[in-house]
Amino acid sequence: MGIRVRSGMLKAGGLVLLVAGWAGWAVGAGAQTAQGAQVSQVAQAAQGAQAGAASGAATPHHAVAARPTAAATRPVTAATPPMGWNSWNYFAGKVTDKDIRDTADLLVSTGMRDAGYVYVNIDDTWEGERDANGKIQSNSKFPDMKALADYVHLKGLKLGIYSSPGAKTCARYEGSLNHEEQDAATYAEWGIDYLKYDLCSYGGVMRAQFPNDPAAQNKMMREAYEKMHQAIVKTGRPMVYSLCQYGWDSVWEWGPQVGANLWRTTGDISANFDRMSLIGRSQAGLAKYAAPGHWNDPDMLEVGNGKLTHDENVTHMTLWAMLAAPLIAGNNLTEMKPEIAAILMNKEAIAIDQDALGKQGDRIYAEGPVEIWAKPLTGGRKALAIYNFGETASDMHGIGLHLKEAGLPAHVTARDVWAAKDLGKITDAYKVTVPKHGVVLLVVR
C-alpha cells in the first residue's frame, strides 16, 4: 500500500459533527466513553446479551457502551477502539503463561488497565494438538488456559486469543479449519473475550481451489471469516472479533458484514520509524470506514520497542490516536521505562483515540514531510496533528494550520496535548517548531 504524500491541499472527507456540547479538554478515556458512544447500526445481538460477563472485580469501562433502542438496551462490542496488549510484537513465538500473568499484573500496577488497556491478547504459538475428539489443546507453554483466563479476569482484565481459518497458523501451529464451532466453543469455555483470526495458510487453500480467480478466492475468504463469526455468536459469549488478512481486497468495505469489530489494514508493523510511519500515513482516506463497533486496524503498537526515539514513540501514539486505531500495546511491561508509560498512558491522547463520536481522522494537508491531520471529536472539538516526517526540525516553513479545511473558524481556542499546555486563541498564523520525526498535537474548538 503506497503512501499518498502530495503537495497542496487534501480535503478530509466527512468532518461532520454529531454531538454538541462541551466535553472538556483533559478528559480521560473512561470518562469520555462513560458518556455513551454514538453507536453503529450493526448490533451484535447474541454478543450483546452477555456483554461484560467476562470481567472480574474491576469491570473495565471502555469496551462496551450501552445503545438505547426501542426494544432493549443492547451493548455494542468495541463501541470505542479496543485497548489492550498483545504478545506478538515483543515476545513473538516465545510467549508463555508466565509472560501473560506478569503482563496482567503489570497492566494493573502501572495504571495501564485503568487508562483503558484491558485486553491481554495471546498471539500465535499457544496452540497444541487436538485430542481424540478434535478439541484443541494449548501447548506446554500454556499448561491451563482456563486457569489463566480466571487469573486475568480476577485482575479486571480480559483475555484474547489467536487462530487462523487455515489448517495452520502463520507460525505453523494448529489452525481452526473444519473446527470452527468446536474452537469457538472451547474459547468460550475457557473464558476468552477476543479473537484475532489470521488468514495465514487459508490463502493457499483459496488459491489452490480457485487459481486465477480472485473473485472466487475473495468469496471463500469472506465465508471463512463469516463462519467463525457465526461460531462465536453461537457460543453466546461476547468476543471482540479481529480480522487479520493484511488489508487485502479492501477489507474495510466488507469487514462489518462478516462480523468484524476490527480489521488489519496493512501488513505487519515493525519497530522502526520507516515502517511505522509508512503504515500510519497510508491510512489516509480510510476514515469513512471506521465507526463504533468497526475499526480500521493499522496493527499493534511498537511504542517502547526497538530503537524508536522519544519523538518517534510520540508520533506513533499520535498517529494511532488520530486514526481511532485499536491501541494494543506490544512492549515488554516488565522493563517499561517511565517515559514509555507516560506516552502510552497520556490521558488526552487516549481520549482522542477513544472519543465517543467514533470518527477516524484524516489528512487535510501535506507539503513535503509536513502533514496536518484532523479528527472530529465530541463537543464540536477537533484534534489537529502537525507531523514532521522529515529528517530535520521544521518551523512549518510558512505552512498554516488550515483551520478552514478542518472545518474550523478562523480563530480557535487550542491546547497542546503533549506539552500539556493551553495556548489560548490561535489562527492559521500559528507557528511551532516540529522536531524531526515528531509531532505537535492540538485539541481545538
Query: Mind telling me the catalytic residues?
Result: 198, 268
Close Cβ partners of 224 (under 8 Å, ≥ 6 residues apart): 165, 202
Residue 245 beta carbon to ligand GAL: minimum distance, rounded to whole angstroms = 9
Report the sign of the C-alpha dihedral through residues 296, 323, 349, 332, in that order.
positive
**Beta carbon of residue 103, minimum distance to ligand GAL (angstroms, whole number):** 16
Q: Which is nearer to ligand GAL, 160 or 293 (CB)?
A: 160
The H helix count followed by the E strand count for the chain is: 14, 19
Cα separation, 415 vs 212, in Å, equals 54
- Closest distance of CB 127 from ligand GAL, Å: 11
Shortest approach of ligand GAL to residue 373 CB, angstroms? 25
In 282-417, alpha helices (H): 310-322, 338-344, 347-353
By C-beta, is 300 or 443 nearer to ligand GAL? 300
DSSP conformation class of 291: B
d(CA 18, CA 291): 12
Q: Which residue, 346, 358, 366, is CA-closest to 417?
A: 346
Q: Name the minimum Å distance from CB 39 to ligand GAL.
A: 28
- Contacting residues toward ligand GAL, per CB under 6 A: 88, 123-124, 169-171, 198, 200, 244, 268
Helix 97-109 vs helix 145-154: angle between axes, to the nearest 10 degrees?
0
Q: Which is nearer to ligand GAL, 33 or 245 (CB)?
A: 245
| Contact partners, residue 103, CB within 8 Å, separation at least 6 | 85, 87, 120, 333
Residue 198 vs 355, nearer CB to ligand GAL: 198
Give Cβ neighbours of residue 219 (< 8 Å, ≥ 6 apart): none
Q: How far is the CB of 162 from ligand GAL (least distance, A)?
A: 6
Strand partners, 321: none
Nearer to ligand GAL, 244 or 258 (CB): 244
Residue among 83 and 366 whose Cβ is closer to ligand GAL: 83
Q: Name the phi and psi angles at 203, rounded to 5.
A: -55, -40
HSE toward the beta carbon, residue 52, CA cutoff 13 A = 13
What one-character DSSP code corresponds to residue 443? E
- Asked if 279 and 2 count as a contact pair (C-beta separation under 8 A), the reply is no
